Chains A and B, each alone.
Chain A
Amino acid sequence: EIVLTQSPATLSLSPGERATLSCRASESIYIYLAWYQQKPGQAPRLLIYDASNRATGIPARFSGSGSGTNFTLTISSLEPEDFAIYYCQQRSSWPPVTFGGGTKVEIK
């Protein structure tokens, strides 16, 4: 089973700042990584798929990069609605599909 490790667990930033979230895979997953945003009481929302492709309707301030075992989600300038938990997910080697443990982006 591929393990995804997200860091940091919590990121404390102010609106307007840049957020950089990391997801590391236990073995190569090529580009088969997605990122989700989840707010309390809501289902996850797909942001990025296949490492760097923005999903439909996702603002350009969200970008993804990486391949192999190291991936990054960048939010270029945090908006108030961006404070949430972010999860990565791999689909390269399955079953099972696996998710990372999440990074909480909180207001500083």
Chain B
Amino acid sequence: EPEVTQTPSHQVTQMGQEVILRCVPISNHLYFYWYRQILGQKVEFLVSFYNNEISEKSEIFDDQFSVERPDGSNFTLKIRSTKLEDSAMYFCASSENQNRGYTFGSGTRLTVV
């Protein structure tokens, strides 16, 4: 069964450093998303991406965040200057079209120290 692949599985970074989280969505999917989940809490929407541009973003997705699809397969989330409160599990997801279920990756656990 097709999978969404995320790397790395765990990233530890110093506060103030930039991090890039990487995702390979399912190849025939056209819609891409990033969500985050602080330990034990709800899954929070960050951003959706379609046709090489951001479709929608949440209040969490401020100027410190950016997304990119640098080639035909990767989808990345960059956090420019990490804060302690950015520590969370970050999930990438993709879907064939709107209003279809998402396929999630296994997540990247980001720890900011």
Do they bind each other? no
Contacts from A to B (Cβ < 8 Å): none
B residues in contact (CB < 8 Å) with A: none
